[in-house]
Amino acid sequence: MTTIRTVGFIGAGAITAAVINGIRSKDTALTIHVSPRSEESSTALAANFPNVFRETSNADVVSKSEIVVLAMRPAQLEAALSGLTFKPEHTIVSFVATVPLAKIAKLVAPASKVCRVTPLTTIEKGRGPIVMTPALDSAVALFEGLGDLLVADTDEQMMAFGCAAGLLSTFFELEHTVAQWLVATGISPASASLYVRSMFSGLANSALENRSLGLATLADRNETPGGLNEKVRVALRDSGFFTRIESVLTELSSLALVPPSES
Ligand SMILES: NC(=O)c1ccc[n+]([C@@H]2O[C@H](COP(=O)([O-])OP(=O)(O)OC[C@H]3O[C@@H](n4cnc5c(N)ncnc54)[C@H](OP(=O)(O)O)[C@@H]3O)[C@@H](O)[C@H]2O)c1
């Protein structure tokens, strides 16, 4: 079993804060070094957790960490890594969306253990998917238990998973639409909101708990022929609702495959 003692984050924004909160509830023995940027977020993380240290430079994060996580936006990557010296024994984990593994490997040479990882902010509560390519022992040890860890075979697969995550806000818009409709029937906003949150949460949990059942089977099992659910699903299917989701994801994946410097 791989044991990690130190991990460093260059970029202490939204996803770093979520990951550190997730790690903290799993492993309080790990020492975590964070870059001075973002000032507010890195200061808060160091103040809240005794094993998180705000360093004075990105170079200090690198020199003090076995695993270095790159957690800045794509356009910030090269400036953040400029002048840093990596060692062959470093493991580098890139959260940076759209930047291929080969480009990251070039920027962090001679470090040769390099992978991409895409968590969601749900990692904060130890939930949600975490996609990794390739599966490096040390990175697996760090992220195991923080959610559902999946391994992608290629950058293209990472991109496809990333495009699927483009549905996060649509999910909440769907919840909002249903809740607003309930309110329009005269139900109180509090009851409408709780009903919708609880219903979708229960369904999502049951999908995870019944992984041996296909998702199409779960859809069939949640409707009665001629019943309300069948009416809604058929009406939405006939309106092109589901095929439009597929075509939007396809459009997104072709856009996302253009590297940031060319987009
Ligand atoms: N948010 C998500 O759910 C999520 C999920 C998976 C992957 N990702 C990827 O993770 C990366 C970060 O996302 P995010 O949402 O956390 O963005 P964010 O909140 O904007 O965080 C970016 C961080 O990078 C810092 N930074 C910028 N330039 C830097 C430099 N030269 N040295 C050190 N730090 C620097 C920023 O500091 P300042 O505030 O001082 O500029 C900020 O703390 C992105 O590539 C994103 O695609 C995000």
Three-state DSSP class for residue 112? coil
Q: Is the pLDDT of residue 60 over 80?
A: yes
pLDDT of residue 262: 39
Confidence at 28, pLDDT banded by 50, 70, 90: confident
Gap between the Cα atoms of 145 and 252, Å rounded: 30
Of all residues in the chain, what percent carry a pLDDT higher than 70?
A: 97
240 DSSP 8-state letter? T
Residue 260 has pLDDT above 60, yes or no: no
For the cut 50, the answer to whether the pLDDT of residue 222 exceeds it is yes
**Ligand 1 atom 21, closest CA:** 13
Using the 8-state DSSP alphabet, how is residue 209 labeled? H
- Determine the atom of ligand 1 nearest the C-alpha atom of 39: 40
Burial of 120 (0-12, 13-18, 19+ CB in 10 A): middle
Inform me whether the pLDDT recorded for 250 exceeds 80: yes
218 has a pLDDT exceeding 80: yes
**Structure tokens belonging to residue 128:** 């949600």
- Residue 263: pLDDT over 80: no
Q: Is the CB of 94 under 6 A from ligand 1?
A: no
pLDDT of 16 > 60? The answer is: yes
Query: What's the chain's average pLDDT?
Result: 94
Ligand 1, atom 37: closest residue by C-alpha: 38
**CB 73 near ligand 1, within 6 Å:** yes
The CB of 77 under 6 Å from ligand 1? The reply is no
Instruction: Kindly state if the Cβ of 42 falls inside 6 Å of ligand 1.
Output: no
Contact 66, 90 (CB under 8 A): yes
Distance 195 CA to ligand 1 centre (A): 34
Take residue 252 and report the two structure tokens written for it. 């997104």
* CA–CA separation, 173 and 185 (whole Å): 19
Residue pair 55/64 in contact (Cβ under 8 Å)? The answer is yes
Starting at the edge strand found earlier in the chain, the sheet holding 31-34 runs: 52-54, 31-34, 6-10, 67-70, 91-94, 113-118, 129-133, 148-151
pLDDT for the residue 258: 52
Helix (H, G, I), strand (E, B) or coil at 133: strand
Cα(3) to centroid of ligand 1, in Å? 27
Give the model's confidence band at 257: pLDDT under 50 very low, under 70 low, under 90 confident, else very high. low
CA-nearest residue for atom 29, ligand 1, is 80
Query: What does the pLDDT look like over 71-126, one tens digit per residue?
Result: 999 999 999 999 999 999 999 999 999 999 999 999 999 999 999 999 999 999 99
| Whether the CB of 14 sits within 6 Å of ligand 1 | yes
pLDDT score recorded for residue 145: 94
Ligand 1 mean position, distance from CA 121 (Å): 12
For residue 96, give Cα distances in angstroms to 25, 71, 183, 254: 24, 6, 40, 18
* Cα 242 from Cα 248, distance rounded (Å): 10
Using one digit for the tens of pLDDT, what is the confidence trace for 184-210? 999 999 999 999 999 999 999 999 999
